């Protein structure tokens, strides 16, 4: 992950660079990332991320567990957006297997995934503000709404974060009417809550000072590094699998994909996530109106679940970007080979470029703004 360093070091006084180890046990690295920073005063000249502290052999485990077991495990890959990891694997398996997914299940998948996108962005918002030094205060407001969504998840999937709800062939459980009406109520009040966050954050002078013009991600550079998700859309690349490679019922839904018209800084990455939350809320509303009756699974959810022999790839648009899953199946009750394409891993690779020549105080402001989940990086 090391990048070339063209460090301009022409000191007039004799100064030394300082090597500083940020992490793996640093309060702000969102897990166990280790960054070796070369500092000139407080300016970062070179960054070397060290990965793998959270490596859990998720791909290997997929080959040693039955499909049914692995479905429950896969939420842990990206623990903040478990619905998407489940969905990516389910879609890949469905591509291999060729089974039909009932329409109601597709709608439910879209609904819970967009809910999950909102919870993920809300958590990002809270922790990002903590990265900026607002240790108390508004970081907790997003958690208020996230809590409501987590309660809805708990009701429908039995779990607050490791859902195991989206299954190969469909979804696990049919929602009750009360659940749907609770969700409807949430979607109605959520835009006001987002206005509340914006009122306190978007206009905050110190927040603007800390984020505007910091960590500018050039469009070309981002494309070279394979950045996806809101981070690259904030830099003006129109890539959103829901639109560019539509899947599930997204073609039937009306929603905007906000795309920036210039190279984005950390503030843009913040504001585009906020806009995405609003769009997700609209999607949920539409799904609630359009939800058809019918079956919820095209495959029997039994322990001996099998996927036909073959290979296939499928990707979904997760809150962090393109989340892809490649599966080779030999028709047995477990996968022959599973390979993940994780957005966090690719997005993290840009970090050394973004941090170059920024003060150490901006390290966390920039690192937080690309929204990386460490288990998703290390798998």
Partner 1 sequence: MRNGAEILKLGTLTITWWCIIFGAVWMACYLVGVAIPMLLSSYESDAARITAETCRALTPIVSVLVFIPINAMFMVLFERRGLAIFTVRLGPNRVGPDGYLQTAADAVKLLFKEDITPNGADAFMFTLAPIVFFAPSIFGAMPLLAAVTNYHELFQIVNLPTGIFFILAASSVPVVGIVMGGWASNNKYSLVGGLRSAAQAISYEIPLVLSLVTVCLLAGSLDVVEIMKQQAGGILNWNILGGGALRGLDSALAHKFATAAPALQDLSEKSFDQILKAAYSEPAAAALGLGAGQESVAGFAACVAVVVLIAAVLIAAGLYMTGACAEINRIPFDLPEAESELVSGYNTEYSGIKFAIFFLAEFTNLFIVASIFAVMFLGGGDCPVPAWLGNMLGGPQIASAINQALSPLIAIKLVDPPTLFAAIWVILKVYGIVFFAVLIRGTLPRFRIDQLMDFGWKRLIPLSLIVFVLVVFAREFVNVHVGS
CA quadruple 177, 147, 171, 301: dihedral, nearest 10: -110
CA quadruple 174, 167, 92, 277: dihedral, nearest 10: 60
Please state whether 228 falls in left (phi above 0), alpha (psi between -120 and 50) or beta: beta
Between CA 258 and CA 224 the distance in angstroms is 21
**Residue 80, φ and ψ in degrees, nearest 5:** -90, -15
Contact track, partner 1, 305-344, x by CB under 8 A = ----------------------------------------
Considering beta carbons, is residue 62 or 126 the nearer one to partner 1?
A: 126
Closest CA to 88 of 296, 321, 324: 324
Considering beta carbons, is residue 212 or 308 the nearer one to partner 1?
A: 212
Considering beta carbons, is residue 209 or 262 the nearer one to partner 1?
A: 209
Considering beta carbons, is residue 42 or 256 the nearer one to partner 1?
A: 42
Q: Is 130 in the site for partner 1 (CB under 8 A)?
A: yes
Q: Is 265 in the site for partner 1 (CB under 8 A)?
A: no
Q: Is 13 in the site for partner 1 (CB under 8 A)?
A: no
Residues 6 or more apart whose CB falls under 8 angstroms from that of 223 comprise 232, 237
Which of these ranges, 55-63, 138-146, 150-158, 250-258, lies near partner 1 under the rule CB under 8 A? Answer: 138-146
Sign of the CA dihedral with 107 first, then 111, 114, and 120 last: negative
Which of these ranges, 1-9, 229-237, 249-257, 359-367, lies near partner 1 under the rule CB under 8 A? Answer: 359-367
Q: Which of residues 28-67 bind partner 1 (CB under 8 A)?
A: 28, 42
Residues 6 or more apart whose CB falls under 8 angstroms from that of 14 comprise none
Choice from 44, 364, 370, 372 touching partner 1 (CB under 8 A): 364
Residues engaged in binding partner 1 (CB under 8 A): 18, 20, 26-28, 42, 129-141, 144, 200, 204, 206-207, 209-210, 359-364
């Amino acid at each position: 992950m090391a990048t070339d360093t063209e460090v301009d070091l022409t000191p007039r006084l004799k100064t030394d660079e300082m090597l500083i180890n940020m992490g793996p046990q640093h309060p702000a690295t969102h897990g166990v990332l280790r960054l070796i920073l070369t500092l000139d005063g407080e300016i970062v000249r070179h960054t070397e991320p060290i990965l793998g502290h959270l490596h859990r052999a998720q791909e290997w485990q997929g080959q040693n567990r039955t499909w049914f077991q692995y479905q429950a495990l896969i939420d842990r890959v990206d623990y903040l957006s478990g619905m998407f990891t489940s969905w990516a694997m389910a879609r890949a398996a469905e591509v291999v297997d060729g089974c039909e997914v009932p329409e109601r299940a597709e709608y439910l998948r879209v609904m819970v995934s967009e809910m999950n996108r909102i919870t993920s962005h809300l958590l990002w918002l809270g922790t990002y503000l903590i990265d900026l030094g607002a240790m108390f205060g508004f970081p907790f407001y997003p958690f208020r709404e996230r809590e409501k969504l987590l309660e809805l998840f708990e009701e429908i999937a039995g779990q607050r974060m490791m859902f195991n709800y989206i299954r190969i062939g469909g979804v696990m459980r049919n929602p009750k009417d009360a659940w749907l009406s609770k969700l409807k109520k949430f979607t109605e009040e959520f835009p006001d809550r987002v206005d509340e966050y914006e009122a306190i954050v978007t206009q905050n002078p110190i927040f603007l000072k800390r984020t505007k013009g910091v960590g500018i991600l050039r469009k070309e550079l981002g494309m070279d590094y394979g950045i996806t998700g809101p981070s690259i859309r904030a830099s003006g690349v129109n890539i959103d699998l829901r639109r560019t490679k539509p899947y599930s019922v997204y073609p039937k839904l009306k929603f905007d994909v906000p795309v920036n018209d210039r190279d984005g800084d950390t503030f843009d990455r913040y504001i585009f996530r906020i806009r995405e939350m609003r769009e997700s809320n609209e999607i949920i509303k539409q799904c609630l109106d359009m939800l058809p009756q019918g079956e919820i699974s095209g495959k029997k959810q039994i322990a001996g679940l099998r996927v036909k022999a073959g290979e296939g790839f499928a990707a979904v648009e997760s809150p962090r970007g393109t989340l892809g899953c490649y599966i080779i199946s030999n028709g047995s009750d477990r996968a022959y080979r599973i390979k993940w394409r994780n957005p966090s891993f690719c997005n993290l690779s840009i970090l050394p470029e973004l941090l170059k020549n920024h003060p150490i105080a901006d390290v966390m402001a920039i690192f937080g703004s690309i929204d990386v989940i460490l288990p998703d990086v290390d798998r």
